[in-house]
Amino acid sequence: MGLYNLAVVPRLHPCPQCGNEGPMTLQFHFGNADLDTYRIGERMRWGGNDKGTPGKELVEVIGYQEPCDRCGLDEDKEYVLVFEHDVLTGGYRYALPEDIVRLE
């Protein structure tokens, strides 16, 4: 998978094992892939191990959910993260099978 970045976003559902409703972390490949962590509203950094093209009006990428930080449950879910003009927006959702084919 190589180097990636992390997005910390609100959960779309509580952890089914422990009920954790806190934020979840998603791994994704976009921007300067150097294990940087982003939150909604933050601008992507560029100029290193770049994945993708900077400055696009709209970019969707697959985000891979990390295990629950409370109980360790690995749900193995994928999400679609949305970037507008290199900013992580609040527009993220569960990935559909066609999203995975289109974006991987």
How does pLDDT run across 40-72, given as a tens digit for each residue?
999 999 999 999 999 999 999 999 999 999 999
The residue to which tokens 């527009």 are assigned: 91
pTM, to two decimals: 0.93
What does the alpha-carbon distance between residue 62 and residue 28 come to, in Å, rounded to a whole number? 6
Split at pLDDT 50, 70, 90, the class of 2 is confident
Name the residue type at position 16. Answer: P
Strands 24-28 and 59-65: antiparallel
Give per-residue pLDDT as tens, 15-34.
Answer: 999 999 999 999 999 999 99
